[in-house]
Structure 1
Amino acid sequence: MSIYEDYNKASRLYDNQRVAVGADVMAAMLQFYSGKPLEVLKILDAGCGTGNYAKAFIEMGAKQITLLDASSKMLDKARSKLKECKEKGMIAGIIEAKMPPMPFPDDTFDAVMFNVVLNHLDRNDNTFPNSVATLKETVRILRPESLIIISAMPDTVLTRVTWFTQLNMDLTNRFVEAVVPTLEQCEQMFHDAGITCIQKLNILGSDVFKNYYNLDGPLDEEWRGTNAYWSFATEEEIGVVEKKVKDLKARGEYEKWVKEHDHSGDTGILTIFFCKKNLSKPRSN
């Protein structure tokens, strides 16, 4: 689904790091706002990756989930992971397609979720046209009173919260400027797409990454290979990171530096937006 990360390549190691953080909160809020149990709701996991969120929702009671992703290898992982669920009829479909558009009829779903997906649809355009077009398509395929769930890591997470993204701020600032929307830009995207955020939550902690506190991770190509952030890095920028880590370790200051620069426990890494489509359609430009 990404315009800058090769997820066919990343699929091999993706599940070594990623988990469905916040899935319990998403499921609870979906049931709260819909007034219905998960088992009767038709849910689209858009940009599903290897199916971690779909699997988590099924384990909490969902029985009608459709998976969509542009990476064939990520979907292969999802099919393997969810084979038993599909045989039991809990998977409505597993579809390979690039967003936008959305390959579904009008009024198909009760909920659509995008988990750290929208930042992969645009590059070097702060109006985020592909994200807006995808959200407009989401409005079309949703039934009335449905919910759109969007999780994201805002720009300030990379610049101030996650410790490893502060090892080379030139790289981080370049990455943020190219693909990561600010909270204000997210709100503008929602407005342009004809949706309204009705609730916004931060998930504290670093649980989105299994090996977040592997302090040797920045020196390990496989550890870096599970995070799209590193796909932006040039060899020179990786060299800067490696040199800083080695220098801090040589001075016996590395663990202290990480503690001083890690704010995942008090600020959180993941922001979840719960949105509904507006009653009137957005104006055409």
Structure 2
Amino acid sequence: MAEKKPVTTNIEWLNRAYSAKGLTDLRSLYDEWAASYDTDLVQPNQDYVAPTLCAATVAKYLTPSQPLDKIKILDAGCGTGLVGGALAKLGAKHIDGIDLSPGMLKQAGNLRVYEKLDTCDLSKPLEVESDSVDVVTCIGTLTHAHVGPEVLSEFVRVTKKDGWIVATVLDDIWEPVGYRAEVDKLVREKKVELVSADSGDYRRGAGVSARMVVMKVIK
């Protein structure tokens, strides 16, 4: 019987992502990684569960007046479409995706679960109308060397009153990089209600955890 080869951790991609020097570097990295991204992150020693957990969280907090198949969802930093795919499996039908990488968006388009896909620099104001979406998801993007906490106020701007924001923030940058402070500020300004910011599985196989930040927009 042939010896089974051990699963290898494709950590080099992650090292490059977490040490990227600016937008050009990030875009090039994700364009290169796009074809193997899903395979690399679902292997057992990564077990990237955050997209599935996000979709379940969205479904959990929707009210009867917000059926999943009727609401408008903006998947910010959608990558290859792992979150969109998970949402579609639960019944979501109106999902737009935005991402920095054209290569990742091409992969997301192959899923045929997004109504619209656009390139976007999340470090700048979003080219999305105010009060135009019911839910914003942002999974895997609020991480090292990517997008800062200032994007949260943009998510609030584009979300309708009584809508939802569901985002992951890696545990080790939640406070040091200012995400917690930004959330606290939005709460003080009575723009959102913080429903949850519990730490939980993110890349479960690698032992990496993140906050699943759930905010209800009350502006």
- TM-score, length-scaled by structure 2: 0.72
In the alignment, is the contact (CA less than 8 A) between 2:174 and 2:180 conserved in 1? no
Q: How far apart in 2 are the matches of 1:205 and 1:275? A: 19
Highest Rg: 1 or 2? 1
In the alignment, is the contact (CA less than 8 A) between 1:27 and 1:38 conserved in 2? no
Offset of residue 196 of structure 1: 4.2
In the alignment, is the contact (CA less than 8 A) between 2:149 and 2:178 conserved in 1? no
Aligned with 1:18: secondary structure? helix
Look up the match of 2:90: 60
From the superposition, tell whether residues 8 and 24 of structure 1 become closer, same or farther in structure 2 (CA, over 3 Å): closer
1:235-267 Cα shifts (integer Å, max 9, x gaps): xxxxxxxxxxxxxxxxxxxxxxxxxxxxx3xxx
Q: Quick one: percent identity of the two aligned structures?
A: 24
Aligned with 1:271: secondary structure? strand
Offset of residue 205 of structure 1: 7.6
Matched to 2:106, the amino acid is: D
Q: How far apart in 2 are the matches of 1:23 and 1:116? A: 8
From the superposition, tell whether residues 40 and 121 of structure 1 become closer, same or farther in structure 2 (CA, over 3 Å): farther
Task: From the two aligned structures, give the one with the greater helix fraction.
Answer: 1
Paired residues in the alignment total 184
- TM-score, length-scaled by structure 1: 0.57
Look up the match of 2:211: 271
In the alignment, is the contact (CA less than 8 A) between 1:65 and 1:93 conserved in 2? yes
1:68-93 Cα shifts (integer Å, max 9, x gaps): 0010111111112x13x4xxxxx221
Matched to 2:140, the amino acid is: V
From the superposition, tell whether residues 77 and 25 of structure 1 become closer, same or farther in structure 2 (CA, over 3 Å): closer
- Extract unaligned runs of 5+ from structure 1: 86-90, 123-129, 156-179, 213-263, 280-285
Look up the match of 1:139: 156
Look up the match of 1:102: 126
Task: From the two aligned structures, give the one with the greater strand fraction.
Answer: 2
Question: Aligned-residue CA RMSD in angstroms?
Answer: 2.7
Give the alignment of 1:114-129 within 5 angstroms: 114-119=138-143
From the superposition, tell whether residues 40 and 276 of structure 1 become closer, same or farther in structure 2 (CA, over 3 Å): same
- Extract unaligned runs of 5+ from structure 2: 1-16, 43-47
From the superposition, tell whether residues 275 and 45 of structure 1 become closer, same or farther in structure 2 (CA, over 3 Å): same
